[in-house]
Structure 1
Amino acid sequence: MTALDGTSAPCRILLVEDDAGDALLVEELLLDTDIDHVLVHCRTLSEARETLAARRSDCVLLDLHLPDASGVGAVTDLLSAAGDAAVIVLTGLAESQAGVEALAAGAQDYLVKGKVEPDLLQRAVRYALHRKQAERANANLQAGKLRAEENARLERGLLPAPMLSSGDVVATSRYFPGRQQALLGGDFLDVVETPDGQVHAVIGDVSGHGPDAAALGVCLRIAWRSLTLGGHRGGALLELLEQMHIAERSSTDLFTTCTLVTLDRSSGTASLHLAGHHAPLLTSHGRSGELDIEHGVALGIAPGLHKWPVTTVRLPPSGSLLLYTDGLVEGHVDESAERLGVDRLLAIMDACADSDAGAHLDRILEEVRVRNAGRHTDDLAVLRLDWAGLPAVSPQRARAGVR
């Protein structure tokens, strides 16, 4: 007989019966079954509760008439102490309704005294154990679903909603965590427009995977938004983010790469800071290229170094910037072990041209996934900023800073 925990240990049966003759009869019936068991006998509900608190039982055989409890009340009290044990109620010949009520109260089965044979008792115990296992599995499943739903609601609440008021700059994003059944990974992105009309964007990637990286990513994203709205910019902002990274990271080997972009519509320029991250990709007149940006060190790699130079580039009157994390370019190419890389990504971007920003991103991501064939499952975040109506500059100047 297999116990509730799936082992082949003897089935631990607790008999709660105050009548010595009935208890002896149950003991003899059990000996005539094929159940490998250990029997413990209690005469009162109070004694049974103490026994269950001291040691776990797989099955409880409960008489409905005890000196200190009777009827459905005895079943309810016993179930509160029985834990994972299956409960079978023992009733008298004229108590069939009491057995039904016991089932409604949570017992797995009931047996009528005087009509129990060894085979019937064996089946009742076995089926009661199986039903209890099924109940426990279903309860765990429901609890797991509730936790998953709560986590999903929490994670959805932590995803950013862009704060853009003018409508001259449009943000479109896609976010795919590498962890299965998760909504958040270590990647993060955000966009806000400040009262001076400037549009600020960030994209970042916390090293590592799992909930610790996701939690740190959320912390940095919220800190970035708060600090940006509070007037912090550029290297000073990155210094504060690094302090936050160090204070909140779960281990000293975690670091964060990120890109900061400030788009100034009045001057038609973008100021960029790279902290160990990829340079954005500029698309204009149907062609895409990587901006030639001076790089700085990732957050947490060399605390106190504060090396995050700024690069300012002229922007074309209309176009878009694509900010992305390395999950977009580190996937494989076809059947080879070669990584996709930036150059192939640029070719895909131009080949998947679409007037709709969201459709364009979806086509790019689908092409990247097809080529990768599921061999790379890193977090992936993509942010596209589209604009029109910036101050006009010459085509040569518009392409300056792009390679």
Structure 2
Amino acid sequence: MGVGPVTGTASQRPPHILLVEDDPGDALLVEELVADLSPRPRLDWVRTLAEVSQRLRTEIPDCVLLDLHLPDAHGLEALARVRGINDQVAVVVMTGLDQERTGLAALASGAQDYLVKGHVDPHLFGRAIRYAIQRKQAERTSADLQASQMRAQENARLERGLLPTPLLGADRAVDVVSRYRPGRDHSLLGGDFYDVVQDPTGLVHAIIGDVSGHGPDAAATGVALRLAWRTLVLSGVTGARQLDLLEEVLVAERDDEQTFATATSLVFDPAAGVVLVRRAGHPGMLAHGPTELSWVEVPGGPALGFIPGRARWPAHELGLDPDTGLVLFTDGLFEGRIGQGSERLGENGLLEVARGLRAEQPEAFVDALIARVEELSSAAGGLDDDVAVLSVRWRENARRTQL
């Protein structure tokens, strides 16, 4: 009559046990114990840790049943080496009758359980294997949860750095709407960033940028650029010199010489009703008015970091009507795939989508634009890349007051 069940995997299949034992007699005893279990586990037998290393390269068992006295390892060294090969597998160590203290030490060193040779019946053996597998699964689940929580905390810190609250005075001349959407991989922010600052003279400075790549390195570089930009604005450094210094920050922060960042900087002058634009390899923008919507793309220079120290970013002046705003975004908004095929939305497609929206208020327009792009990309798995959108428009009556 079998003893069991011994199942520790999600599929409820019989567990796979790798026995590491150089004594044929002890190995035979384990085989007899396994034969009494139901369902019967799969048992593989190797004699040395060298064989363990070879096996674990191609297949991971549910549990390693480990003798602590092997030809090529002895005592807790054997356990440490198995965990060094793969620390995701459950380990049950086997000790002699006079080595119970060693078994306890093995538990403290990472084993899930221990058995004393010659003092194990099928019921105890089956329970030890089952519980060891379950404990290891619980450890992995706990580790995954902790990693997820750490990623969430990291996301929150990076989001505060990349996506700040605009720094505007009580007499601010513009209204700002900002949005961020992660791409398919929600685990960490990318390198998209933006910021808006009003200086003591009443000029409103805005920037949007995108660091190449994904993950923590790109995000950290984006934070460094955003913080540097705000510091420069508050210090009175603007214009081409500002982009020169941002490029120096990028070059100093990046780990890879291929890393670059696109950016568009704007300076809103409410007294003159104009916006000064400098573009460093970044996409164009949308001019969003009550009755008209158009694509605006002024001549610019290369992305930051392409040709350090040699790039030039000319300024271009745009007249902006009182009821018109500028909508800036990172390329994730239009480079994603749409439909079932490999077609990308593209800039022309984005403009067509924007012109088809009925929303007139800036906040409603931005939300509707993102929602429509997400809808178009849903069949292809969603947005490929992170998306940042920044809408800046003269505040109601702000321009009229200056006229």
Same fold flag (TM > 0.5): yes
Q: How does 1:221-232 map to 2 (within 5 A)?
A: 221-232=226-237
2:372 corresponds in structure 1 to 367
Amino acid in the other structure paired with 1:155: L
Counterpart among 136, 140, 148 of residue 137 in structure 1: 140
Change (3 A) 1:359 1:391: closer
Tell me, yes or no, if structure 1 residue 386 matches structure 2 residue 389: no
Greater Rg over alpha carbons, structure: 1
Aligned to 2:327: 322
Within a 5 Å distance, the mapping from 1:1-400 to structure 2 comes to: 9-11=18-20, 30=30, 32-34=32-34, 36=45, 39-40=67-68, 52=79, 58-60=91-93, 79-81=107-109, 83-87=110-114, 117=121, 119-158=122-161, 159-165=163-169, 166-178=171-183, 180-291=185-296, 293-332=298-337, 334=339, 337-375=342-380, 377-387=384-394, 388-391=396-399
Q: Provide closer, same or farther for how the CA distance between residues 222 and 12 of structure 1 changes in structure 2, counting only shifts above 3 A.
A: farther
CA distance 1:391–1:38, shift in 2 (3 Å): closer
Whether the 8 Å CA contact 2:188–2:215 is kept in 1: the answer is no
Q: Distance in 1 between matches of 2:261 and 2:82?
A: 50
For 1:352, give the aligned amino acid.
Answer: L
Q: Is the contact between residue 2 and residue 10 of structure 1 (CA under 8 Å) also seen in structure 2?
A: no
Q: 1:88 to 1:144 in 2, by over 3 A?
A: farther
How many pairs are equivalent?
349
TM-score (norm 1): 0.74
Structure 1 unaligned residues grouped into runs of 5+ = 14-23, 91-110, 394-403
Which letter maps to 2:388?
A
How far did residue 55 of structure 1 move? 6.5
* 1:129 Cα deviation from its structure 2 partner: 2.7
Counterparts of 2:222 and 2:333 in 1: how far apart (Å)? 18
Amino acid of the structure 2 residue aligned with 1:172: V
Give the Å deviation of 1:235: 0.5
After superposition, the CA RMSD in angstroms is 3.8
Give the conservation status (yes or no) of the 8 Å contact 1:204–1:257: yes
Distance 1:292 1:120 in 2: 75
SS of the residue 1:321 aligns to: strand
> What is the rounded CA distance, in whole Å, between the counterparts of 2:137 and 2:247 in structure 1?
50
After superposition, give the CA deviation of every residue in 1:169-202 in whole Å (9 maximum; x if it has no partner).
1111111233512352122111111111111110
Alignment-mate amino acid for residue 392 of structure 2: L
Could you say which residue in structure 2 is the equivalent of 1:103?
Answer: none
Q: Secondary structure of the equivalent of 2:210? A: strand
- Call closer, same or farther: CA 1:295–1:3 in 2, change over 3 Å: same
From the superposition, tell whether residues 356 and 182 of structure 1 become closer, same or farther in structure 2 (CA, over 3 Å): farther
Gaps of 5+ in 2: 1-5, 10-14, 35-42, 46-64, 84-89
1:108 counterpart residue number: none
Shift of residue 287, structure 1, vs aligned partner: 0.9
Distance 2:81 2:262 in 1: 54
Would you say the 8 A contact 1:29–1:121 is kept in 2? no
CA-CA distance at 1:379 after TM superposition: 2.2
Q: Write the distance in 2 (CA, Å) between the matches of 1:371 and 1:3.
A: 42
Answer whether contact 2:336 2:377 (CA < 8 A) is retained. Answer: yes
CA contact (8 A) 2:250 2:304 kept: yes
For the residues of structure 2 that align with 1:282 and 1:210, how far apart are their CA atoms? 31
